[in-house]
Amino acid sequence: MQELLYKDEVYAIVGAAMEVHRILGPGFLEAVYQEALCVEFKLREIPFHEKPRLQIDFKGRLLKCSYIPDFLYCNEIIVELKAISQFGACEQMQIINALKAAKKKLGVLINFGESSLFWKRYVN
């Protein structure tokens, strides 16, 4: 059986998100959860960059446009936040395309909008 990619790191990210959701619950805008998660990451000493600009390579050329995820953990894991009632195919395709464009191996999509925190890992 193959070991999960960045298992401990994802565990740390999701644990911090669970704490934010436990305290705030659903119903806020995404920006509130993002700011609260920044605080929780710092309290837990989780290394992250908020809203980094990642360049997109298209056929060997860097585009002028960049991709800006909510968080980049250890320069390896894209973390995208949502605050919607339920994930759909659109949100899933966004993180899959982001992983490909940014040439990252793992992404975590977290939704604070449901009664229980929902999260899913995506591997490129």
Q: What was the pLDDT predicted at 111?
A: 97
State the Cα–Cα distance between residues 56 and 58, nearest whole angstrom.
6
Range of the domain at 14: 7-123
As beta bridge partners, residue 122 has 107
Q: Could you read off the pLDDT of 69-101 as tens digits, one per residue?
A: 999 998 899 999 999 998 888 989 989 988 988
- Is 64 part of a structural domain of the chain? yes
Q: What was the pLDDT predicted at 96?
A: 92
- Is 11 part of a structural domain of the chain? yes
- Is 73 part of a structural domain of the chain? yes
Bridge pairing between strands 77-82 and 61-67: unpaired
Q: What is the mean pLDDT of residues 20-27?
A: 97
- Is 1 part of a structural domain of the chain? no
- Is 46 part of a structural domain of the chain? yes
- pLDDT class of 1 with cuts at 50, 70, 90: low
CATH number of 27's domain: 3.40.960
State the Cα–Cα distance between residues 25 and 117, nearest whole angstrom.
9
Q: Could you read off the pLDDT of 24-74 as tens digits, one per residue?
A: 999 999 999 999 999 999 999 999 999 999 888 889 899 999 889 999 998
Closest by Cα among 30, 9, 120 to 81: 30
- Provide the number of structural domains found in the chain: 1
Does position 102 have pLDDT exceeding 90, yes or no? no
Of the ranges 16-20, 37-41, 84-88, 114-118, which one carries the lowest mean pLDDT score? Answer: 84-88
- Is 27 part of a structural domain of the chain? yes
- Is 2 part of a structural domain of the chain? no
Q: What was the pLDDT predicted at 56?
A: 87
Q: What was the pLDDT predicted at 82?
A: 96
